[in-house]
Amino acid sequence: MSSSQLINEYRQWLSFQRQEQLSREHQGIAQRLEDARASSKQVIQAYRSMAEKAANEGACYRTLFLRERDDNVALPCEGWLFIRRVLSEENSTRVRATLIETFTLEDGILAPGDKPALKVTLEIFDKLDINQGMRTSVRVDSMETPQDYHFITLLDAVRGDLRPYLK
């Protein structure tokens, strides 16, 4: 086996390891949010706080989200969100943000700037789960790309050095 082939296989193995780690992390955080019975009002308030810090300090927040593939398999991806604004109208709340992707299974680990930043609109809503005894849980899904959904943005993972990559 050539050294370049060995290196490629090693990189592929690292990507699969990272994918498994993100799958466990996304599932665990989603379960904790569900167990805590987080409401859409609480999540909206958190996004408002993120938008304020983004405007004042250039803060970007680590986010995990599911991306559905062509074969209907959804795998977690990772990125950083810069929250531009939170818009509330009647029963609808939308978040305008910029997403810098840092991991997908296809691309592996990405450095900021490897892919162009994406402008996204996220919708925050309560999802009714009839399998859980008519229990509601909060969801944050992308409106432009329906294959990207169930965004979980972490308040405790913040970076302020990504502004040059947001354009």
Question: For the segment 52-81, what is each residue's pLDDT rounded down to a tens digit?
Answer: 999 999 999 999 999 999 888 999 999 999
* Alpha-helical segments (H) within 58-167: none
Whole-number pLDDT of residue 101: 97
Say if residues 36 and 44 touch (Cβ distance below 8 Å): no
What are the structure tokens assigned to 153, written together? 């943005």
Whole-number pLDDT of residue 75: 96
Which residues neighbour 65 within 8 Å (Cβ) at sequence distance 6 or greater? 26, 76, 77, 79, 142, 148, 149, 150, 151, 152
User: pLDDT at residue 89 above 90?
Assistant: no
Whole-number pLDDT of residue 143: 94
* Alpha-helical segments (H) within the chain: 3-35, 40-57
Whole-number pLDDT of residue 132: 63
Which residues neighbour 48 within 8 Å (Cβ) at sequence distance 6 or greater? 86
Mean pLDDT score, 15-19: 96
Which residues neighbour 83 within 8 Å (Cβ) at sequence distance 6 or greater? 47, 50, 51, 54, 61, 95, 96, 97
Whole-number pLDDT of residue 1: 75
What are the structure tokens assigned to 13, written together? 């193995």
Per-residue pLDDT tens digits for 91-150: 889 999 999 999 999 999 999 999 999 999 999 998 877 776 667 788 999 998 889 999
Q: Is the pTM of this model over 0.95?
A: no
Say if residues 112 and 83 touch (Cβ distance below 8 Å): no
Whole-number pLDDT of residue 109: 94
Whole-number pLDDT of residue 91: 82
Mean pLDDT score, 20-43: 93
If we measure between CA atoms, which residue out of 114, 103, 121, 119 comes closest to residue 167? 119
For the chain, domain boundaries: 3-165
Round to whole Å and give the CA distance between 45 and 54: 14
